[in-house]
Structure 1
Amino acid sequence: MFEQVLRQLSIQVIECELPNSWWGAYDITTNTIGLRPELGPTQRRSTLSHEAAHAALKHDGHSLTQERDAEELSAAWLIMHCDFQHASRIYNTPIALAHELNVLPRDVHAYVRMIQRTQK
């Protein structure tokens, strides 16, 4: 789903070295996502989705609230609810769930946080 967002928002994706060991960054002024070149496939997919979420949410700058919002939107794009339900019946740790769902543990944490907040 986030691939559609990239196309709709005409976001350019480049590989580049980033500061502070960041895996990715979104630059609103150039509408560009930079990704660290040595990321593995799951890291790249998750990071690209996370940065696309920053773009879709029009984030300019960096705050804990913006990071939480981007994490949750990205997790919603990456994790299908039926897949999550099925996998969570089999696996009981975020790492095992992440492996099964082909996402990072941070995506699982964000997805669970989002579900818990919406069920209140």
Structure 2
Amino acid sequence: MGVRVRTAVTPAGWWGAYDHQRRLITLRPGLGPIQSACTLMHELGHAYYGHIGVTGKQETLANRWAAFRLVDFDRMIAAAAAEQSTAGVAASLGVLPSVLETYLQTLTRAQLDHVRAVAVGRAA
């Protein structure tokens, strides 16, 4: 993608930022490994789409782009069979719960039914 990544101060409340003109991703210092990985992938989504500025639509696109690259359906199913909560599944996959939620929102009805069936089977 031709994007540089650095760790430096970001705007208040932001874990990361993407500057399209400079093709530069900045990650906030002190993020944990999962926060850092998920934030980097989100910012790479902005780079992929060439986003300039910040809009709700751009955030949604970057979130989805990141979720599809961080969550594998088969691994998620295996985690759902073993874990008791969405947070547990997310931790097992090494992603933030918000990333897993974004991923789940994009699944088809058949895929969601499969996830539910696995979770119900675990609870039985």
With normalisation by structure 1, the TM-score equals 0.85
Name stretches of at least 5 consecutive residues in structure 1 with no aligned partner.
1-8
Matched, 1:16 2:8: yes
Q: How many pairs are equivalent?
A: 111
Q: State the AA in 2 paired with 1:41.
A: P
Match of 2:101 in 1: 109
Q: State the AA in 2 paired with 1:43.
A: Q
The counterpart of 1:90, out of the listed 75, 82, 89, is 82
Shift of 1:14: 0.7
Match of 1:66 in 2: 58
The counterpart of 2:30, out of the listed 38, 41, 44, is 38
Give the distance between the partners of 1:118 and 1:39, measured in 2 at CA. Answer: 36
SS in 1 for 2:17: strand
Q: State the AA in 1 paired with 2:92.
A: E
Percent of matched pairs sharing the same residue:
34
SS in 1 for 2:106: helix
Match of 2:42 in 1: 50
Q: State the AA in 1 paired with 2:25.
A: I
Shift of 1:90: 2.5
Shift of 1:39: 0.6
Ranges of 4+ aligned residues in structure 1 off by more than 2 Å: 89-94, 116-119
Give the distance between the partners of 2:108 and 2:50, measured in 1 at CA. Answer: 25
Across the aligned residues of Structure 1 and Structure 2, the Cα RMSD in angstroms comes to: 1.7
SS in 1 for 2:12: helix
Q: Higher Cα Rg: structure 1 or 2?
A: 2
Name stretches of at least 5 consecutive residues in structure 2 with no aligned partner.
112-124
